[in-house]
Amino acid sequence: MTNIAEVKRMVVSGRTRMTPSEALVETLVAQGVTEVFGIVGSAYMDALDLFPSAGIRFVPTVHEQGAAHMADGYSRVSGRHGVCIAQNGPGITNFVTAIAAAYWAHSPVIALTPETGSLGVGLGGFQETDQLPIFSKITKFQAHINNAARMAELSSRAFDRAILDMGPAQINIPRDFLYGEIECEIPQPIRIERGAGGEKSLDAAAEALAQAKFPVIISGGGVVMADGVQDCVALAEALEAPVCNSYLHNDSFPASHRLWCGPLGYHGSKAAMRVIAKADVVLALGTRLGPFGVLPQYGIDYWPQNAKLIQVDADPRVLGLVKKVGVTICGDPGAAARALLARLKGRKLAINKEMVASEVKKQKAAWSEELSGWDHEKDAWSLEVAKGSSYMHPRQMLRELERAMPADAMVSTDIGNICQIANSYLKFEKPRSMFGAMMFGNCGYAFPTMIGCKAAAPGRSAVAYVGDGAWGMSFGEILTCVREKIPVTAVVFNNQQWGAEKKNHVDFYSNRFLGVNLENPSFAAIAKAMGAEGSTINSLSDVGPALRDACKAQKEGKTTILEMMCTRELGDPFRRDALKKPHRLLEKYKSTSAD
Ligand SMILES: Cc1ncc(C[n+]2csc(CCOP(=O)(O)OP(=O)(O)O)c2C)c(N)n1
Ligand SMILES: [Mg+2]
């Protein structure tokens, strides 16, 4: 076998005769691809065969959804492309959920989608489906190889567009087009350096910030993607402006910083909410202010309606989309922060520094104290189910995990009640450390995504937070960890229920539970049977040591599943905003009516 590390990653230069498979693989090399996730298939054997000689590691997965999530995690950690490939037809349709998730995570994932051969299209031969419409709304760019001679040209464009538009791109290849001979040149990658934005809008923003009495910055995912966290820190310090993280981007500002207030949005920081509520100017840096991330929380309607909003984003299509904007800047968030800092140098600022600083301090202390005393949920249903339970209260367990989390950790979070509550307990010093399931919100995201993260950053501790329901969807990928020696730690919150949805039954449907209770096997025993380590944790004092040991074991190549036995209590729901009490008209359904 070829040792991938030893392969010289040189790309053929100038117009050269080659096969289309070679053109595709040389394009991958030119674009810096070193890992590809997928499941083998006859459709692309001819290209796959070249991977080792090209210095590309193929990472075989259990399911194609897992492969595409891994590509997503890989790109979110590294800032590079994540690449996945599969068999035409069913292999490719298995990508769909994960590509949609990558779309909403703004990840430059490349889905290589071999398709039915051009001579068989429409005949319904085998594994045929029209693969372009399926991905049309969840990719930023679709390249269809309409002629084998264009393999390198169109493929490279897809790679360039994925970075330029920060989202998935598809390369759809009729499978017979991989064979034959062509003459082509392998294009060099195009990487565009984005500027700070328009001069006039930057001037207007600097003016508004200089005049602000209570400026607040929201640091979003765009700041992380632009590697601009340090620029955001420098601007915040110059302004003495408090900083909130946008929803699920807790790694967009260092949590130990005196100006950090914590995340906005679902199960976010009350300190952040109370501070931003006082703002007269808000600088939204690298965030589209997604509606779900700015909804009222804990009954606090925190969005400052009368504040002047300055929004900076690299994507012009998200400017002013959700909130009314005063100044819009289309630019790189890091570069924009630097340009604003330069404009503010030496200027007199209207901010009342003492007042703002004391408000930040007060709100942070109050929230920290509230969280320390918030040992369990206090609604009637939660009190009832937790009474007499020997299992752990989720909040107490999350606190123990927070304390034991290694400083270099990457943490992914799934969709579920406990994973969402974890938002209050996840703090980071470094960017590219938190990987929420983002706005596609699919259960089953966190574990395969973290495997991809670990493949990109093998030296860092890799931790996935997953509910037991979501675990059922994704634990098959333990085999990928074991077979491919990509060690991660999965923390599985076993509360024996699809909790987040059960909470809707409690709040809206008079506890008429349907399809929400889970009878689980021992997930620790399953993990062991699959060749990983597994332990069942019943008591709080074991949580921290178990996490620390599991992260240490990653250094020896070991994957560990920590099954946290939790009570069935449930925190605030996701979608109180989007549900209504049942209203029925037909007699046969009247018993379920809330009227
Ligand atoms: C793929 C997918 N299917 C269904 C849902 C709807 N859903 C949202 S949260 C949730 C329950 C999650 O349960 P679990 O993973 O056990 O976490 P818990 O809420 O119990 O903490 C479900 C089914 C979803 N978000 N994604
Ligand atoms: Mg659960």
6 band by pLDDT with thresholds 50, 70 and 90: low
Percent of the chain whose predicted confidence (pLDDT) is above 70: 99
Closest ligand, as measured to the CA of 499:
1
How many A from CA of 450 to the centre of ligand 1? 18
Closest ligand, as measured to the CA of 415:
1
How many A from CA of 421 to the centre of ligand 2? 12
Q: What is the pLDDT of residue 8?
A: 59
Residues 465 and 488 sit within 8 Å (Cβ to Cβ) = no
Pocket mutation for ligand 1, best pick of 397, 415, 418, 506 (most atoms within 8 Å of C-beta): 415
How many A from CA of 570 to the centre of ligand 2? 10
Tokens 């993280």: give the residue. 245
Position 551 pLDDT exceeds 50: yes
Q: Chain centroid to CA 314: how far?
A: 18
Q: What is the pLDDT of residue 576?
A: 78
Q: Among 54-63, 282-291, 547-556, 566-575, whose mean pLDDT is lowest?
A: 566-575
How many A from CA of 444 to the centre of ligand 1? 8
Which residue has its alpha carbon closest to ligand 1 atom 20? 499
Render the burial of 507-541: b for 16+ CB within 10 Å, e for the rest: bbbeeeeeebebebeebbebbeebebbbbbbeeee
Position 329 pLDDT exceeds 60: yes
Residue 143 is classified by DSSP as E
Q: Angle 247-250-251 (CA atoms, 0-180°, nearest 5)?
A: 135
What does pLDDT average to over the chain? 96
Amino acid at site 258: R
4 band by pLDDT with thresholds 50, 70 and 90: low
How many A from CA of 593 to the centre of ligand 2? 27
Q: How far apart are CA 132 and CA 141, in angstroms?
A: 10
Q: What is the pLDDT of residue 459?
A: 98
Which residue has its alpha carbon closest to ligand 1 atom 3? 443
User: Once rounded to an integer, what is the mean pLDDT over residues 378-392?
Assistant: 96
Position 15 pLDDT exceeds 50: yes
Q: What is the pLDDT of residue 292?
A: 87
Q: Which atom of ligand 1 is nearest to the CA of 442?
A: 26
Closest ligand, as measured to the CA of 502:
1
The H or E element that residue 64 is part of is: helix 64-78
Beta-bridge partner residues of 115: 174
Q: Which atom of ligand 1 is nearest to the CA of 414?
A: 15
Q: Angle 140-42-44 (CA atoms, 0-180°, nearest 5)?
A: 40
Which residue has its alpha carbon closest to ligand 1 atom 9? 416
Which residue has its alpha carbon closest to ligand 1 atom 13? 498
How many A from CA of 441 to the centre of ligand 1? 9
| Digit-coded pLDDT (tens) for 442-463 | 999 999 999 999 999 999 999 9
Q: Which atom of ligand 1 is nearest to the CA of 471?
A: 15
Q: What is the pLDDT of residue 154?
A: 98
The H or E element that residue 9 is part of is: none
Q: How far apart are CA 239 and CA 205, in angstroms?
A: 13
Which residue has its alpha carbon closest to ligand 1 atom 16? 469
How many A from CA of 179 to the centre of ligand 1? 44
How many A from CA of 502 to the centre of ligand 1? 9
Closest ligand, as measured to the CA of 418:
1
Q: What is the pLDDT of residue 115?
A: 97
Q: What is the pLDDT of residue 493?
A: 98
Burial class (CB in 10 A: 0-12, 13-18, 19+), 469: buried
Pocket mutation for ligand 1, best pick of 443, 475, 495 (most atoms within 8 Å of C-beta): 443
Tokens 């080659």: give the residue. 18
Q: Which atom of ligand 1 is nearest to the CA of 466?
A: 15
Two tokens at 5?
A: 């590390």
9 band by pLDDT with thresholds 50, 70 and 90: confident
Number of H helices, E strands in the chain: 23, 20
Position 374 pLDDT exceeds 90: yes
Count of beta carbons in the 10 Å neighbourhood of residue 353: 11
How many A from CA of 102 to the centre of ligand 1? 18
Q: What is the pLDDT of residue 133?
A: 98
User: Once rounded to an integer, what is the mean pLDDT over residues 417-439?
Assistant: 97
Q: Among 224-238, 343-357, 572-586, whose mean pLDDT is lowest?
A: 572-586
Q: How far apart are CA 226 and CA 79, in angstroms?
A: 9
Residue 587 is classified by DSSP as G
| CA distances, 270 to each of 106, 214, 423 (Å) | 27, 18, 12
Q: Which atom of ligand 1 is nearest to the CA of 418?
A: 21
301: left (phi over 0), alpha (psi -120 to 50) or beta: beta
User: Which candidate, 85, 111, 114, places its Cα nearest to that of 99?
Assistant: 111
Burial class (CB in 10 A: 0-12, 13-18, 19+), 199: exposed
Q: Which residues line ligand 1 (CB under 6 A)?
A: 415-419, 441-444, 467-470, 493, 495, 497-501
Pocket mutation for ligand 1, best pick of 69, 475, 498 (most atoms within 8 Å of C-beta): 498
How many A from CA of 434 to the centre of ligand 1? 19
Q: Helix axis angle, 446-456 relative to 64-78, nearest 10°?
A: 50
Q: How far apart are CA 282 and CA 209, in angstroms?
A: 8
Amino acid at site 17: R
Q: Which stretches of 405-539 are DSSP H helices?
A: 417-421, 446-456, 468-474, 478-484, 499-508, 523-529
Q: Chain centroid to CA 362: how far?
A: 31
At 60, is the secondary structure helix, strand, or coil?
Answer: strand
Closest ligand, as measured to the CA of 419:
1
At 344, is the secondary structure helix, strand, or coil?
Answer: helix
How many A from CA of 549 to the centre of ligand 1? 28
How many A from CA of 513 to the centre of ligand 1? 15
| Digit-coded pLDDT (tens) for 176-208 | 999 999 999 999 999 999 999 999 999 999 999
7 band by pLDDT with thresholds 50, 70 and 90: low
1 band by pLDDT with thresholds 50, 70 and 90: very low
How many A from CA of 466 to the centre of ligand 1? 10
User: Which candidate, 495, 488, 453, places its Cα nearest to that of 472?
Assistant: 495
Give Cβ neighbours of residue 534 (< 8 Å, ≥ 6 apart). Answer: 522, 523, 524, 525, 526, 527, 528, 560, 561, 562, 563
| Digit-coded pLDDT (tens) for 352-367 | 999 999 999 999 999 9
Residues 426 and 262 sit within 8 Å (Cβ to Cβ) = no
Q: Which atom of ligand 1 is nearest to the CA of 443?
A: 26
